[in-house]
Structures are given as C-alpha cells and as structure tokens.
C-alpha cells in the first residue's frame, strides 16, 4: 500500500513539474483521442442546425451537411450532449474554476497536431462515424497561437481535401480578431462561450476571462455574418461567413445567478447580436473541483425549463419580460410546470381564448398548444368551426387545455378562476431516469 501511494505521488509530481510532455508523447493516437473526446463533452453547444446545404454527389469533394451523424457523447449525468467533438488539446494556461481542463486541474493531458485532427476527421467521416467536426481547445502558448492551429484544421479540411461536411469551431478568448474572422470563412458555425450569466459570476469563476472582450468578439462575428449575407445578395460568389451563424453557452447553477437573470442575459444576446442559439448547460460537478463551486449540481429539469423559456421567446412571440413574469419571488422558474403554463396561471384574465376566432399570437399562448397545432388550427378553422373533438386530434393535452379555451361546443364556466387550477393542469410527475 505505501509503495502504491508513493507511485501515485511520483506520478502527480511528474505532472505538476510539467514533465508530462514526455509522458504525453508516449500516448497513442487512440489514447489521446479518448482523453480529448472525453474532455470536450462538457460543451453542449454543438447542434449542427441551420447551416448551408452542401453535398458531394457531383463526385467532387467529400462529405455533406445533410443527413445524420452518429458521434454522441454522454455527460456524467447521463445527458446526450454532443454530436461530434474533440479538443485540439486539453492543456490550458487559464484557470477557470468550473473547467476540468483548467491549469490547476490534475488530469491527464494530451494534444493533437492540426494534421492529426484532419486525418481523424476524414477517416471517421469515410467510415460514416460522424457528419463533421466540432473542434474546441484549451489554450496553449497563447490564444492566437491556439486559434491559428484550429483554423489550419478547418482550412486543410476544406482546401486540401474538399471536405464539405459540417465544421463548428470554438473561438479562443483573446485571440487576434483577424484570426476569428478567418475562422468564419472555413467553418459553418463559430462560437465563443459567455460562460456565466453575470459579470460577477465570470469574475469569480473565470478570473482570466473578460466579459467585455467576449462580447466584443461576438459583436465582430455578428457583423461579419451580416456583411457576408448582404454581400451574397449582391454577388453570388461572395465568400460565405459562418453560414450556420454563431451560438454561445451559459453554465447554469455554478454561480448564484437566478433564472430571471439568465433569461435577461440570453435575451440581450439574441437581440443585440442575433445569435442563432444560446445553450444552457447545467453545471456538472467535476473531479477534483475547486472549493468555490457548489457541491451539488442543479436539477436537470432547471436546464430544461430554461430551454422551454428560450423557445417561448424564439418561437411563441413572448418577450423576455413576459417569461420573467413566470418566475417566482426568487427569480426562479417553477420546476413542476412549464413556463408557458406558469405564465398563463399568472395571467388568467387573458383566458379563455376562442379557438375559432383568436389571432395566432394568442393561440400560441394557450398552454398545451404548440406551433404545429396552432398552424393546423388556423388552417382547419377556415373550413369549419372547431369542436373539442377536432382539437383532440391535434393535441394530446386536451384535458388540461379545457380551462383555457372556447370551442364551438365548449365554454368553461369559472374553471379559469378555480383555486386548484394549478393542481388540475400540472402534468403527473414522471420519475427521473437519472435521478
Ligand atoms: S479557457 Fe477554456 S479550456 Fe481553459 S480553463 Fe477556461 S474553460 Fe477550460
């Protein structure tokens, strides 16, 4: 036993002395792949939606942005959070407390060369393991040095190999703005994480990062995307810049920020920078965690409720302010009901809504009616007046809908004012798969 402890201590000292470089060079490609794919799984912002359609059916190039890939990774809490992703390296000169790859973390380190990432991507693509590449990285030497290597991966894939699959590059904080602009010429999507909802949270948990600088990068990417779209309207062959837009990610539950603050920050990012997506990632406790982090992860349902609130703003015509009104006195969204139902229960005077006459905006506010159901209602009511039976063919939630709607054969009397309305409309609690 003492001998084993000695061995462990020697190995820790070996890592801490920075002599792990030699150790690292002994790692095989597959060992490094294991380390760097595992290290990338905490980043949730990798969905490949919304990019330009490209394919190689004409016999030129390789790959396609259409169809599905299979590269999934699972977070320790069981969520399927990734499509395809690796880090160029998990060495990092920054020390963000929530990050498993931070400078002071005692994890196995590894590094790929740009060429190795290119070869891996092509090999995996040809075997139909993946549909493209999501590449992020820790920071080695300097932000710009790291960014250059990541851009080289994307350039080589596109120029040297005619790769037409999807590429998402994470930009490195503090990298030269020119490099960030070059990244957008090769990648479908570029993104930089704002990391935390508030400046205070960022200063506390990521002391090396600067919120203003990160927003500056987001603004520049946004301008470049807008300019490229504009140029392509006038000149067909003007270069594309990040056709799938940009996204960002916020960690939920690592600092004291409440849901109301998160909704406000997301709304600011959507309105000011026209981001394609804001991803919310419930903080997962990491091995060897810093003492400033909470010991417990937030309930996963909190992340889900934030995604629902995000959809209300993006697709249901709610303002961020209205969604904030669904939060409680502590600024938190209820966990037992979705934010749309919470809002409706708080604004009962707006209901019941006449399904046969109400405008689309109001139909979208009825709890239980999704965008597709509303489109179908708008279509169907042109031909005849809708009854409850018609609605039950469009939605599964007809019983919880009743207090909020009027149809040709149904008008609720006092149902909307009942004290127990919340209990009557709360869906039965499902047991947690990963409780
Ligand atoms: S810069 Fe990125 S990789 Fe480095 S510690 Fe911070 S979050 Fe982790």
Nearby residues of 115 by Cβ (< 8 Å), 6 or more positions away: 156
> For 266-323, how does the pLDDT look when each residue is reduced to its tens digit (9 = 90+)?
999 999 998 988 999 888 887 777 788 888 888 989 999 999 999 999 999 999 999 9
Band of pLDDT at residue 434, cut at 50, 70 and 90: very low
> For 191-240, how does the pLDDT look when each residue is reduced to its tens digit (9 = 90+)?
999 999 999 999 999 999 999 999 999 999 999 999 999 999 898 888 88
pTM of the model: 0.81
Q: Of 370, 372, 408, 361, which is closest to residue 388 (Cα–Cα)?
A: 408
157-184 burial by CB neighbour count: b if 16+ within 10 A, else e?
bbeebebbbbbbbbbbbbbeeebbbbbb
Residue 192 in contact with ligand 1 by CB distance below 6 A: no
Query: How confident is the model at residue 262, as a pLDDT?
Result: 97
- Percent of all residues in the chain with a pLDDT value above 90, rounded to a whole number: 53
Tokens representing 182 are 């070059």
Of the listed ranges 2-6, 148-152, 277-281, 340-344, the one predicted with least confidence? 2-6
Query: How confident is the model at residue 400, as a pLDDT?
Result: 79
Q: Of 224, 133, 235, 211, which is closest to residue 178 (Cα–Cα)?
A: 224
Q: Tell me: pLDDT of 15 over 50.
A: no
Q: Regarding beta strands 166-170 and 132-136, do their DSSP bridges make them parallel or antiparallel, or are they unpaired? A: parallel
Query: How confident is the model at residue 47, as a pLDDT?
Result: 52
Average pLDDT for the chain: 83
Residue 99 in contact with ligand 1 by CB distance below 6 A: yes
- Percent of all residues in the chain with a pLDDT value above 70, rounded to a whole number: 82
Whole-angstrom distance, CA of residue 82 vs CA of residue 70: 10
DSSP 59: S
Mutating to test ligand 1, I would choose from 45, 111, 138, 286 the residue with most ligand atoms within 8 A of its C-beta, which is 138
Query: How confident is the model at residue 389, as a pLDDT?
Result: 92
Q: How many Cα neighbours within 13 Å face the side chain of 106?
A: 13
Band of pLDDT at residue 77, cut at 50, 70 and 90: very low
> For 56-69, how does the pLDDT look when each residue is reduced to its tens digit (9 = 90+)?
666 666 655 544 33
| Bridge partners for 136 per DSSP | 87
Residue 138 in contact with ligand 1 by CB distance below 6 A: yes
- What is the CATH code of the structural domain delimited by 24-286? 3.20.20.70
Give the mean model confidence (pLDDT) for residues 388-411: 87
- Highest-confidence range of 10-14, 175-179, 282-286, 324-328, by mean pLDDT? 324-328
Portions of the chain given CATH number 3.20.20.70: 24-286
Query: How confident is the model at residue 75, as a pLDDT?
Result: 38
Of the listed ranges 72-81, 83-92, 226-235, 289-298, the one predicted with least confidence? 72-81
Atom of ligand 1 nearest to the CA of 87: 3
Residue 98 in contact with ligand 1 by CB distance below 6 A: no
Tokens representing 76 are 């320790």
- Measure 92 CA to ligand 1 centroid, in angstroms: 6
> For 17-34, how does the pLDDT look when each residue is reduced to its tens digit (9 = 90+)?
444 443 455 889 888 988
> For 181-193, how does the pLDDT look when each residue is reduced to its tens digit (9 = 90+)?
899 999 988 999 9
Q: Tell me: pLDDT of 11 over 50.
A: no
Sequential DSSP letters for 233-297: HH-TTSPP--TT-EEEEEEESSSS--HHHHHHHHHHHHHHH--SEEEEEE----TT--TTS-SSP
């Amino acid at each position: 036993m003492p001998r084993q402890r000695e061995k462990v201590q020697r190995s820790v000292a070996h890592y801490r002395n920075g002599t792990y470089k030699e150790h690292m060079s002994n790692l095989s490609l597959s060992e490094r792949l294991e380390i760097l794919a595992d290290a990338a799984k905490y980043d949730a912002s990798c969905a490949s939606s919304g990019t330009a359609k490209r394919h190689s059916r004409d016999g030129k190039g390789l790959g396609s942005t259409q169809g599905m890939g299979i590269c999934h990774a699972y977070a320790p809490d069981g969520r399927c959070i990734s499509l395809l992703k690796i880090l160029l390296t998990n060495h990092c000169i920054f020390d963000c407390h929530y990050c498993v790859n931070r400078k002071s973390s005692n994890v196995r380190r590894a590094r790929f060369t740009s060429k190795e990432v290119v070869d891996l991507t092509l090999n995996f693509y040809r075997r139909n393991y993946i549909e493209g590449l999501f590449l992020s990285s820790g920071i080695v030497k300097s932000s710009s040095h790291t960014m250059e290597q990541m851009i080289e991966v994307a350039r080589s894939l596109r120029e040297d190999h005619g790769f037409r699959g999807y590429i998402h590059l994470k930009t490195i904080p503090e990298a030269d703005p020119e490099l960030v602009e070059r990244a957008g010429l090769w990648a479908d999507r570029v993104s930089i994480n704002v990391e935390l909802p508030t400046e205070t949270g960022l200063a506390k948990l990521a002391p090396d990062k600067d919120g203003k600088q990160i927003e500056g990068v987001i603004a520049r990417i946004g301008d470049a995307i807008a300019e490229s779209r504009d140029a392509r309207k006038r000149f067909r062959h003007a270069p594309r810049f990040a056709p799938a837009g940009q996204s960002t990610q916020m960690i939920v539950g690592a600092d004291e920020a409440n849901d109301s603050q998160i909704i406000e920050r997301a709304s600011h990012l959507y309105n000011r920078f026209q981001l394609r997506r804001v991803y919310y990632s419930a903080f997962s406790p990491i091995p060897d965690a810093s003492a400033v982090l909470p010991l417990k992860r937030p309930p996963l349902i909190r992340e889900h409720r934030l995604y629902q609130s995000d959809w209300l703003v993006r697709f249901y015509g709610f303002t961020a302010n209205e969604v904030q009104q669904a939060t409680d006195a502590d600024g938190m969204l209820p966990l037992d009901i979705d934010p749309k139902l919470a809002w409706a229960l708080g604004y009962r005077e707006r209901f019941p809504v006449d399904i046969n006459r109400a405008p689309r905006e109001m139909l979208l506010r009825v709890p239980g009616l999704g965008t597709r159901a509303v489109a179908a209602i708008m279509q169907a009511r042109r031909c005849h007046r809708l009854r409850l039976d018609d609605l039950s063919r469009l939605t599964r939630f007809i019983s919880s809908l009743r207090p909020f709607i009027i149809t040709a054969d149904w008008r609720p009397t006092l149902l909307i004012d009942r004290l127990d309305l919340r209990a009557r409309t709360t869906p039965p609690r499902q047991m947690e798969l990963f409780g």
